[in-house]
């Protein structure tokens, strides 16, 4: 390129929602790049969307933009008009139709050479956000970046010399310490090109690397050349993401491209970067940007976002049915993040001749993939590529499509999709890695699932512990598989926010992938809305869903509890994430994970699953430093059976280190120290991290004898590797040893009967512990955080005729209440409450809460907003009733259960002494 005419700025605008297809009268203006919505154009949208953010200027149809530009500099030269990121476009120059393009991911580039006459010329473009060849996944969804209309990236006319490089691809050759440069040469069949490179982001104090330029000869309009980098070649990875700016100079026309020297490979069940094993710590991304409603095309904004993810330990991004703009790849290049864009498709891929085959859509999707590779494939961060999300259909056709991509571009690893075929997972010939949630119906490789996708995961069903890993699931000695396949060979599945019926394939109960396994969309632990966020939505998207949720809570009289609900539900969500992440880091058979998500998801019913809000700002429930304790390139772990201990018993924890750092860890001193809240050290283990190339390292066994405590004590286990940032901690509880609880004198009843009322009339306090089956208006006890979004999965369960989710979001505990004086607690759920919650029902107090003081409250989801009580008290007659909706008989089987009963009974007894 020798020159560039900038087309950003003021354009005239006309909106045509009827899509009449004729040049309109222009009656408005807009500054581009932008979208019509973000610019405030179009009719006001009065809707109050509950499942996603409300676009206040929603427009779907044809948006026409026109302006004049002086094209004199392009006369007699090759000129191309570029719209970097847009929708379906039709271009006109001086009213003459030029052409149309429909890519949703790559720049629209029009050769306008023959239309350039010089002087002021009128450029008109019609942008349509309807009639796409495919639905578009998260590129067009109101759940994510909205179905915007406009042009959001570079707008320019680029002018080229007599001969210039085009369709440039750079192939890194790690072993040869060189780049292979391939390009089409336009304007000349043969000639000379000068290829040079210079590193430009070396660490401070390190000089830039400038290898010798190469004089290359091109023939037949094609350039193929090798650019040696020499012994001082700089490599690219997450630790040292050094980049080169490569220039191809043909007679003064210079083409520039960013490249990095790296080799990203899959070998057996692991990923390798430049010959060194790595582990993917991935973030799901749907390109949610609430202030604009579209993905930014500036490097600075992507640097902001990706740096935040790096601060939370991430080294990988999986884009859900979308591909980001080039600015995202540049930022990832600079930060060393391994990117996996995905075709914008979420559905069924049929082979030609099969029922439902959509030739036009499939051809478009295949072409989009090639456009992604051609536009962004030279970026070193572009490491992987996926065919879509939760696909069904023809494995053979998917294999053919991947094969076509591999034949064209071998720089990346490819996979058939994310969680394809769901209950019937498989690896096809051209898969380089596998992304899924199970290896058979009951071989689960993540910790949580929707009820419609049961069985549930271990975080949802098992008592909190730190011993679970997935190795025996990946390599089972015996496996079984079963799901509900109908007689016609079809199965019902969750499909986005709804369900559909698909053709099932045979399940292989002994399926073991021979490629790296990446566990798909782990987490999805919901938090209650923080209504203080509403004021942050100052752009075209408004959080009217939050306003509706706040009003509903207010109608139930519970709005004063909103912030406590947010904090308590967030604390439980973080616990669940920690336990799930650590399960993965204890697993030697996995290649990585993709978490959903550290960021709130603003759609699909409103899935507030992040420790960051939708703006990627901290919510105040988990700092980056806290998160990196259990999510980083090195995680120190303690393996033990139970968070609840009893005086006099022995405690043991295996201390291990999951380590993927290239250096700086082995040979360092580590410590594991257990202390009591009183300051007494109960056990210590120290030593040196072994010098080994293994990634899962046994450090030793910490053993302790729990002292004879007369009251419950909080114990803290702190692990650290000295002179590093590697640390972790666990909070446990120790309880006095007691065989049983003396309930005599506690006036305990299953229900209020005549004898209880007599005591109440005499001013006594009675304890009501009902049979759980007798609590008619109640919800079952469920310790784990709600999965994703109650509203969405309730509807899907109804459609699939499957059990609905419990839908609760942890406890809000009045920890200072004297009924819990001998059962010290936080205000949120902790593992000491698992037995209690699991053997309880929470009573629905809607409309009957007046005069009742809730001691242990269960947080309901923000659709239903029940006023739920596990334990409460109220005055009746001349006495007091304490209601505890737990099964005391089952609680008595655990130390924490006995201590809880002791505390509650003791409170009632004390009330009756006064």
Confidence of residue 306 (pLDDT cuts 50, 70, 90): very high
Angstrom distance (rounded) from CA 656 to CA 136? 44
Distance of CA 38 to the CA centre of its chain: 25
Task: Please state which CATH number belongs to domain 266-463+479-525+537-628.
Answer: 3.20.20.80
Confidence of residue 491 (pLDDT cuts 50, 70, 90): low
Structure tokens at 57: 């200027």
Backbone conformation region of residue 8, classed left if phi is above 0, alpha if psi is from -120 to 50, else beta? beta
The pLDDT tens digits for 355-392 are: 999 999 999 999 999 999 999 999 999 999 999 999 99
Angstrom distance (rounded) from CA 328 to CA 230? 29
Helix (H) or strand (E) holding 109: strand 108-111
Angstrom distance (rounded) from CA 598 to CA 574? 10
Task: Delimit the domains of the chain by residue range.
Answer: 3-160, 164-251, 266-463+479-525+537-628, 634-725, 748-913
Q: How many helices (H) and strands (E) does the chain have?
A: 14, 54
Q: Is 774 exposed, middle or buried (0-12, 13-18, 19+ CB in 10 A)?
A: exposed
Angstrom distance (rounded) from CA 37 to CA 22? 22
| 316, 593 contact by CB (below 8 A) | no
Strand partners, 780: 841
Angstrom distance (rounded) from CA 535 to CA 545? 13
Angstrom distance (rounded) from CA 446 to CA 433? 17
Helix (H) or strand (E) holding 398: helix 395-408
Sign of CA dihedral 438, 443, 449, 455: positive
Angstrom distance (rounded) from CA 243 to CA 240? 9
Is residue 446 predicted with pLDDT exceeding 60? yes
Question: What distance, in Å, lies between the first and last C-alpha atoms of the chain?
Answer: 90
Task: Identify the residue whose tokens are 């094993």.
Answer: 277
The pLDDT tens digits for 743-781 are: 888 899 999 999 999 999 999 999 999 999 999 999 999
Task: Identify the residue whose tokens are 């009501």.
Answer: 768
Can 164-251 and 634-725 be said to share one CATH topology? yes
In a 13 Å sphere around the CA of 128, the CA atoms on its Cβ side amount to 18
Task: Identify the residue whose tokens are 């571009």.
Answer: 409
pLDDT, average across residues 197-208: 89
* CA-based R_g, the chain, Å: 31
Q: Is 592 exposed, middle or buried (0-12, 13-18, 19+ CB in 10 A)?
A: buried
The pLDDT tens digits for 779-808 are: 999 999 999 999 999 999 999 999 999 999
**Count of CB atoms situated within 10 Å of the CB of 455:** 13
Per-residue model confidence (pLDDT) at position 479: 36
Task: Identify the residue whose tokens are 């509900």.
Answer: 484
Angstrom distance (rounded) from CA 797 to CA 786? 14
Angstrom distance (rounded) from CA 441 to CA 443? 6
Q: Is 498 exposed, middle or buried (0-12, 13-18, 19+ CB in 10 A)?
A: exposed
Per-residue model confidence (pLDDT) at position 506: 60
> 316 or 505: whose pLDDT is higher?
316
pLDDT, average across residues 446-456: 96
Q: Which of 9, 154, 190 is nearest to 80 (CA)?
A: 154
Strand boundaries in 783-876, DSSP class E: 808-813, 841-844, 852-860, 868-876
pLDDT, average across residues 132-143: 94
Per-residue model confidence (pLDDT) at position 484: 55
> 484 or 339: whose pLDDT is higher?
339
Confidence of residue 721 (pLDDT cuts 50, 70, 90): very high
The pLDDT tens digits for 845-861 are: 999 999 999 999 999 99
Per-residue model confidence (pLDDT) at position 551: 98
Is residue 414 predicted with pLDDT exceeding 80? yes
Angstrom distance (rounded) from CA 121 to CA 70? 6
Q: What is the pTM of this model?
A: 0.95
Angstrom distance (rounded) from CA 630 to CA 730? 11
Backbone conformation region of residue 302, classed left if phi is above 0, alpha if psi is from -120 to 50, else beta? alpha
Per-residue model confidence (pLDDT) at position 490: 64
Specify the length of the chain in residues: 914
Task: Identify the residue whose tokens are 């929603």.
Answer: 58
CATH classification number, 3-160, choose in 3.40.920.10, 2.60.120.260, 1.10.10.10, 2.40.50.140? 2.60.120.260
Per-residue model confidence (pLDDT) at position 248: 98
Confidence of residue 206 (pLDDT cuts 50, 70, 90): confident
pLDDT, average across residues 884-904: 97
Q: Which CATH superfamily is domain 164-251 in?
A: Immunoglobulins (2.60.40.10)
Is residue 148 predicted with pLDDT exceeding 70? yes
Average pLDDT over the chain, rounded to an integer: 95
634-725 folds as Immunoglobulin-like (2.60.40)
Kindly compute the dihedral angle of the four CA atoms of residues 630, 635, 640, 641, in this order, to the nearest 10 degrees.
40
Measured N-to-C along each axis, helices 299-311 and 326-335 cross at an angle, to the nearest 10 degrees, of 50
Q: Are strands 62-70 and 96-101 parallel, antiparallel or unpaired?
A: unpaired
Q: Which residues of 99-123 are buried (b: 16+ CB within 10 A; e: fewer)?
A: eebbbbbbbbbbebeebbeeeebeb
Q: Is 512 exposed, middle or buried (0-12, 13-18, 19+ CB in 10 A)?
A: middle
| 55, 540 contact by CB (below 8 A) | yes
Is residue 202 predicted with pLDDT exceeding 90? no
| 88, 131 contact by CB (below 8 A) | yes
Per-residue model confidence (pLDDT) at position 480: 36
């Amino acid at each position: 390129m020798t020159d560039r005419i900038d087309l950003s700025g003021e354009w005239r605008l006309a909106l045509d929602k009827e899509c009449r297809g004729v040049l309109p009268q222009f009656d408005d203006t807009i500054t581009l790049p932008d979208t019509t919505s973000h610019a405030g154009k179009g009719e006001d949208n009065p809707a109050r969307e509950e499942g996603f953010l409300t676009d206040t200027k929603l427009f779907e149809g044809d948006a026409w933009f026109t302006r004049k530009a002086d094209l004199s500099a392009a006369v007699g030269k090759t000129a191309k008009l570029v719209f970097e990121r847009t929708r379906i476009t039709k271009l006109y120059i001086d009213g003459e139709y030029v052409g149309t393009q429909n890519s949703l991911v790559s720049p629209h580039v029009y050769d306008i050479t023959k239309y350039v006459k010089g002087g002021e010329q009128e450029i008109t473009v019609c942008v349509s956000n309807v009639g796409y060849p495919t639905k578009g996944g998260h590129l067009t969804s109101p759940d994510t970046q909205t179905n915007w209309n406009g042009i959001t990236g570079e707008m320019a006319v680029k002018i080229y010399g007599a001969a210039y490089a085009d369709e440039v691809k750079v192939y890194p050759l790690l072993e040869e310490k060189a780049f292979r440069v391939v390009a089409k040469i336009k304007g000349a069949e043969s000639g000379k090109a000068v290829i040079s490179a210079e590193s430009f982001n070396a660490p401070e104090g390190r000089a830039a690397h400038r290898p010798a330029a190469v004089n290359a000869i091109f023939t037949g309009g094609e350039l193929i050349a090798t650019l040696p980098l020499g012994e001082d070649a700089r490599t690219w990875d997450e630790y040292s993401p050094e980049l080169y700016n490569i220039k191809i100079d043909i007679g003064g026309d210079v083409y520039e491209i960013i490249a990095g020297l790296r080799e990203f490979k899959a070998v057996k069940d692991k990923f390798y970067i430049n010959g060194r094993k790595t582990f993917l710590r991935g973030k799901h991304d749907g390109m949610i940007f609430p202030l604009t409603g579209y993905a930014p095309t500036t490097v600075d904004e992507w640097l902001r976002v990706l740096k935040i993810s790096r601060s939370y330990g991430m080294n990988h991004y999986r884009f859900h049915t979308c591909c980001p703009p080039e600015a995202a790849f540049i930022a990832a290049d600079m930060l060393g993040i391994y990117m996996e864009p995905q075709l914008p498709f979420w559905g069924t891929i049929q082979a030609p001749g099969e029922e439902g085959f959509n030739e036009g859509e499939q051809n478009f999707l295949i072409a989009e993939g090639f456009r992604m590779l051609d536009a962004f494939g030279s970026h070193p961060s572009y490491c992987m590529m996926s065919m879509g999300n939760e696909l069904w259909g023809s494995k053979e056709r998917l294999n053919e499509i991947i094969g076509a991509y591999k034949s064209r571009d071998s720089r990346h690893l490819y996979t058939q999709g994310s969680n394809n075929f769901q209950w019937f997972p498989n690896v096809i010939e051209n898969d380089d890695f596998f992304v899924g949630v199970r290896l058979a119906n009951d071989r689960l490789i993540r910790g949580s699932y929707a009820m419609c996708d049961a069985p549930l995961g271990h975080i949802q069903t098992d008592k909190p512990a730190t011993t679970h890993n997935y190795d025996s699931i990946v390599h089972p000695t015996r496996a079984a598989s079963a799901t509900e396949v109908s007689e016609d060979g079809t199965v019902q599945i969750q499909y986005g926010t709804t369900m559909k019926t698909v053709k099932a394939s045979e399940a292989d109960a002994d399926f073991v992938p021979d490629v790296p396994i990446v566990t798909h969309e782990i987490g999805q632990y919901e938090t209650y809305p923080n209504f203080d966020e509403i004021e942050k939505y100052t752009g075209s998207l408004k959080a009217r869903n939050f306003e509706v949720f706040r009003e509903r809570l207010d109608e139930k009289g519970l709005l004063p509890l909103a912030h406590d609900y947010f904090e308590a539900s967030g604390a439980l969500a973080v616990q669940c994430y920690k336990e799930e992440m650590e399960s993965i880091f204890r697993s030697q058979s996995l290649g990585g994970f993709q978490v959903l998500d550290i960021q709130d998801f603003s759609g699909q019913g409103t899935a507030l699953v992040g420790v960051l809000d939708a703006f990627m700002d901290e919510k105040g429930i988990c700092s980056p430093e806290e998160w990196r304790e259990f999510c980083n390139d090195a995680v120190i772990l303690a393996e033990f059976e139970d968070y609840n201990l009893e005086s006099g018993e022995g405690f043991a924890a295996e201390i291990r280190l999951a380590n993927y750092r290239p250096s700086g860890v082995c040979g360092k001193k580590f410590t594991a120290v257990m202390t009591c809240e009183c300051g007494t050290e109960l056990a210590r283990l120290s030593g040196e991290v072994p010098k080994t190339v293994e990634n899962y390292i046994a450090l030793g066994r910490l053993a302790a004898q729990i002292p004879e405590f007369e009251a419950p004590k909080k114990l803290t286990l702190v692990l650290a590797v000295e002179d590093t940032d590697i640390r972790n901690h666990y909070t446990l509880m120790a309880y006095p040893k007691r065989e049983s609880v003396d309930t005599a004198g506690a006036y305990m009843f299953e229900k209020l009967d005549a004898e209880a009322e007599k005591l109440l009339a005499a001013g006594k306090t009675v304890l009501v512990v009902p049979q759980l089956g007798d609590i008619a208006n109640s919800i079952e006890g469920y310790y784990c955080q709600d999965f994703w979004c109650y509203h969405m999965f309730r509807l899907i369960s109804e459609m699939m005729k499957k059990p609905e989710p419990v839908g609760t979001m942890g406890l809000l505990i009045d920890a200072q209440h004297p009924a819990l004086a001998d059962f010290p607690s936080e205000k949120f759920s902790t593992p000491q409450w698992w037995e209690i919650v699991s053997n309880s029902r929470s009573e629905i107090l809607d409309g009957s809460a007046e005069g009742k003081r809730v001691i242990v409250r269960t947080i309901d989801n923000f659709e239903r907003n029940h006023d739920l009580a596990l334990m409460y008290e109220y005055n009746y007659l001349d006495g007091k009733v304490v209601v505890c909706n737990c099964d005391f008989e089952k609680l008595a089987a655990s130390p924490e259960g006995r201590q809880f009963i002791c505390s509650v009974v003791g409170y009632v007894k004390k009330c009756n002494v006064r």
